[in-house]
Amino acid sequence: MKRLDFILPNWTRFVWNSSEARDVWEPRISRISNAFIQLEKTVVLQGIKPAWVSIMPWSEIVKLTNEIKQTDFFVQILNQTNGNDIYPSITMDSDTNSTRYQIVLVHKSKLVDFLQAWRDQDNIKIGTLLGYPACCCEFFQKYWITEEFLDTTWPMSLGGTQGPKECNIMLRWLGVRAVSHLPCGFNCEPTYAIARSNIEWGYQNGYHEEMAWLEEMLDWPIQWSALHGIAEIKTPILKIITRTDATADKVEVNRQGFSYPDEGSSGVSFPFKNKARSILTKNNAFKRSLLMENQWKDNGFSTFESMTHSHQVMLESLKHLDKTQFYDVLDLGCGNAELLKTIQQNTLKNSRIHGVELDPDRFSRIKYNVDSLMAGEFYNLNMFDMSGEWWKRQYDLVIFMPGRLTECTPQQRIDCINWLRSNVKQILWYSYSDWVEKFNTGVSEPWVTMNSLKLKFEKLHTASTENCYASVGKIVTVNVDQPQFQILA
């Protein structure tokens, strides 16, 4: 990103996609923003956070001062500002040029320390006194202070844009956010912890609707783009236009989402959803007519109950994974993607699913199963076909039954094992039904090939029953002469 040497005046505009979207969401956004302000103030007064910095008019300062008269807290004015000096919000007064004051609400025991840090412009200490994560304080110091960024969206995206919705602050111009600081990344774990605590506090203190709307909005697809000092933040319901760092070329940050509002616009380009295409597939009766008859047969089961049982065992094996991380998940031999759907809806909600399925009938039903999910690429090919695009990619988790390696050539077996070792962070290695018995009664592959390559499957977490075995692990190099893997724990 090449930055130019000019800065535009601070300004922000909101352009609604439709009057329907505005009628529904403008009052909701106002309630979310007001709830967050109340939350931020109250968690300080309850001792959950040490201090709170905000910008407000004199009338609000008077109200806050009266509210804390009988407490050990102080309101200290830090400086005078106006509406053009801050991120505007829909909830702001119409007179954005009215005088406002930056204030800190702080416990008397921390007041001297805070004011000293403020005078010294010690941003690390200020951030610490405000309860911000250390990694985010360092990020703020580097990009906002040292490199003088006006907008940290681009630096924040350098570590990737996928992560828990709680870390998303791309709607901060609306007053819609779960934390008050600028996170260092979309997958910052301390930010996630603070945000979750804030949201849970809201649910427990009378803001159930506001927190539900907040979580929904943070989970929408959002596109931020910048060119020549102007940023456009596109959402399903409105576009935000504001100033940002001036750049010679257009830059974009796209954050995928898992939800989409009924009032959202229809479109074929990100972040919009083609609602005309999906309206028929949203009908449950239509989905059942295509899927239910083959739901378990497509996935190699004789009954719905046996499929459900095996899938639950596989979900159990995934419980130890870090749910705050984003996962690209590939299922080799995915059937109609029922297992992938189950995993994303129940365990790895922060994931994008991909699959490979050879059978054309099973493959034809995948699109109806994943229509409302965060889905990537699906391929109607042989999983051992090295021309497949998935062989060129890396994945966080691959779902694979080692029994498949008894159905291919020796060279394909070697290539697949080496690919799993080199391109996959973790493998969900499983077998069910008759394959459990086969592995326990002397099936030699893929163990012979793995031993010849000096490799073994290293188990990290296992779940099993009489009819299903599932183990999450990875293929690693060892110096052994005997098979190292056993199906039963």
Mean pLDDT of the chain: 85
If one compares 467 and 207, the residue with the highest pLDDT of the two is: 207
Q: Categorize the per-residue pLDDT at 28 as very low, low, confident or very high, splitting at 50, 70 and 90.
A: very high
| 57 cis-preceded (ω within 30 degrees of 0) | no
The rounded distance, in Å, linking the Cα atoms of 450 and 162 is: 34
Q: Give residue-wise pLDDT tens across range 286-319.
A: 454 455 556 777 777 777 778 888 888 999 999 8
Give the dihedral sign, CA 278/282/285/289.
positive
pLDDT at 292: 52
Determine which of 133-137, 259-263, 370-374 has the lowest per-residue pLDDT on average. Answer: 370-374
Locate the domains of the chain by residue range.
Answer: 12-275, 280-477
Residue carrying the six token digits 């599932």:
470
Tokens of 430: 């499983």
Q: Please say if the pLDDT value at position 156 is more than 70.
A: yes
What is d(CA 209, CA 421) in angstroms, rounded to the nearest whole number?
46
Highest mean pLDDT: which of 216-225, 264-273, 371-380? 216-225
Higher pLDDT, 85 or 477: 477
Give the tens place of pLDDT for each residue, 267-295: 888 898 876 655 544 554 445 445 555 67
For residue 85, what pLDDT band results from cuts at 50, 70 and 90?
Answer: very low
Residue with tokens 């691959």: 398
List of E strands, 261-405: 327-332, 351-356, 375-379, 395-400
| Topology of domain 280-477, CATH | Rossmann fold (3.40.50)
Q: Is the pLDDT of residue 384 over 60?
A: yes
pLDDT in tens, 4-14: 989 999 889 99
Task: Give whole-number Cα distances, 230 to 8, 161, 183, 237, 251, in Å.
Answer: 8, 21, 22, 20, 11
In this predicted structure, the answer to whether residue 488 has a pLDDT above a threshold of 80 is no
